[in-house]
Amino acid sequence: MVKTVTVSHLVKKIVGENSFLMEAMGKELISYGNLAEQLKQEIEKELGKKIKEPAIIMALRRYADDLRDFDKKTRRFRFEGEILMRTNIMDFNIVKSNSLLNKIKNLYGLIDFERGDVLNIILGNNEVSIITNEKYKEKLSNFLKGEKIINKEFDVVSLTLSFRSKDFIYTPGVVFTAVRNLAWNNINILEIVSTMTELTFILKKKDSIKAYNILSSLVGK
């Protein structure tokens, strides 16, 4: 069954692609009339017909109400926990291959976990990310000989939110709230790693202090 495209669908699509616009609407910091005027041409092009601005304004208001309801539900989650920063981290991205998958298990033997060293392995559909301490640069490079390395990032930090409650993983919007606050402050996220009670952001060192303060403000609420 083909879903009929409506003004409401298009408003959600356009606004949803702009996190800053979503933030402004959720906090009622925007003129719906002015925004409707800006969106009118794009919506008419998608629908293939003329649309009156009041219809767009009505759709914007309804979506803003949905955003505020969503925000209220997210705020009920208490960001209680600790923040841990680890420095001198590196992030390698490698093309996924059978040879890499066969030897990844051996990578754990290279890392000194008793000293608190880091190892995060993220398996994508076509790529693998390996995040560990920079002191293992030579060992990791030798380990990856014969593999196609896409990118290497150095001067990286990991910031981990360690929650006291496992409700984190069952509460919609928790990751979005943290990411939104970082994006709002122009902080780029290289990788995200999450488990039942931990949420880790991999960032460039230059953004680490600002990001730490932003996440601390969430935990302190």
Name the more confident of 36 and 68. 36
Q: What is the pLDDT of residue 78?
A: 64
Q: What six digits make up the tokens of 19?
A: 């996190």
Exposed/middle/buried for residue 20 (C-beta within 10 Å: 0-12, 13-18, 19+) = exposed
The answer to whether 86 and 134 have CB atoms below 8 angstroms apart is: no
Global pTM? 0.71
CB atoms within 10 A of CB 184: 12
Cα 155 versus chain centre, distance = 20
Give strand pairing partners of 26: none
Q: How far apart are CA 188 and CA 203, in angstroms?
A: 7
Mean pLDDT across the stretch 69-76?
66
For residues 169 and 193, the model is more confident at 193
Is the pLDDT confidence value at 28 over 90? no
d(CA 216, CA 135): 28
Q: Over the stretch 110-140, which tens digit does the pLDDT of each residue have?
A: 999 999 999 999 999 999 999 999 999 999 9
Please report which residue ranges of the chain form alpha helices under DSSP H.
7-16, 19-26, 32-47, 53-75, 98-103, 137-143, 174-184, 208-219
Q: Domain ranges in the chain?
A: 7-75, 81-219
Please say whether the structural domain 81-219 has been given the CATH code 3.30.565.10.
no
